[in-house]
Amino acid sequence: MKALLIALNLTALLVVPVAAFAQQSLISDPEIYEKKHFTEQCTKAEFGEGYVTRQDINNDGLIDAVVNEGELTCDGEKGPQCNDDGCPYNFYLQVAEGGYFMIATAQIYGYDFVQRFGNMVLAMKMHPRFCDRTEGDPCIVTARVRGTKFVTISKK
């Protein structure tokens, strides 16, 4: 039951970001925004070198941001929100008008940014159950960001 709920949550996060965009305001910089949040939540917050990756994830020429909460150490605990499903990653798109908005959050082991069919795509490493397996190698969900949503290309 828990696996089904997690799968439905992930699907909702990857399918419903357009509605979320209409309800949220732009932030000036995701790194400042997220670090401020955790500085307020933790007595002592430390951020690893890989905490924020800046790259164009939706092929629009603007540099976006991906925040890896696994690189956060909060009160001596590294990756406090990480579990057997991986760590939370927050994906932010930059808009031409200035600012960023979050399009998705995913609990993953990590991702590679690779070229497929002429476009850069995210190959996210996830728990095997996302590929209908109970064990073995991580599931690789390949997704392209089109506009303001993730579009799943393949799962293996």
Q: Which residue has the tokens 């069919």?
A: 117
> Identity (one letter) of the amino acid at 14?
L
Burial of 155 (0-12, 13-18, 19+ CB in 10 A): middle
Question: Which structural domain range is residue 129 located in?
Answer: 2-155
Q: What is the pTM of this model?
A: 0.81
Tens of pLDDT, residue by residue, the chain (156 residues): 444 344 444 544 444 443 344 446 899 999 999 999 999 999 999 999 999 999 999 989 999 999 999 999 999 999 999 999 999 999 999 999 899 999 999 999 999 999 887 788 999 999 999 889 888 899 999 999 888 888 899 999
Q: Per the structure, how many domains does the chain have?
A: 1
